[in-house]
Structure 1
């Protein structure tokens, strides 16, 4: 009788052990499949974040159109010519910025004269015109005896450190280079196109 009870007990324990292993095994298989399903989700979500091509570029195109319209006004100038002229003039101004770092140098003055049109050179070499400029200087007591004095005491202080960002056509061969401040255009340079080359123009003083 005792042996029969022991045998029955051993059978029950064995059956429970086998059932437990089967249950754990099934549970493990169910858990193992979960990471595979989660890993696939980002692949499905990626296309949702893509932006249509060209959407970002629209504001830039609109801004360029506005600047072109502001710059040419009623002057007949193509977009390609406008872009080329602006690039050339901003490059010249960058070169002048380097020259203006040492306005007291004769080397700087000679380099600057090479950018100025002959009409301006002839006008501002005259003593009577330099005297007119003397009277209008904000700092009194400065003497302008030569074009080099004009370069050092008038041209450079009025332009050094300024940021020119746009151009305005007066004609297809005459341009103002300006800094835009709010709704105001501040003119820092005039340029004449002479024999295909943009030259700095120094306007005469009105009598």
Structure 2
């Protein structure tokens, strides 16, 4: 019988086929390439069951329609980025209203292959180049590993952009990781929060710390 160490080594040699994020059940996953409508309907049906049955129809109806409008708008905006998955908090913690004040967007990006004549670029430099493509400057950058893979973390503030549905400024933290055994493939996990209305407030700080803890437990799926 193979030892536990041998089994772990064999598993780590398998190709990466996906990822795993450990999130509390207040968060829902919406796949953005397949099964999106089914997931949206499932989330909305679940949220609507928590509307009090004795709520006046003239209040429950508009609330339900506004909730669906906001949720679908968030999903549609995420789909425009050609991302893989969107995670949203759809159940209040300790009471309160449904809120879309935070999100996690997971995507992949490919780096054009570099010829030997152009020389070798360090993976960390490539990650920074990929993060820089959106024109963000002056961000807080650091590097490390997630589940054994090189990762670069970027944190910055993004201003309000009503034309894109962002009515408030937000605090953003992104991890971009080199997919093991596939140097041209990069995996991006991006967190965004408006905090309690100010991306610098205590709630925003706490949520950023929470997201860093989530990424500390990030794992690749292999098979």
Fold similarity call, TM over 0.5: no
Instruction: Choose 1 or 2 for highest CA Rg.
Output: 1
Higher helix share: 1
TM-score (norm 1): 0.25
Which has a greater percent of strand? Answer: 2
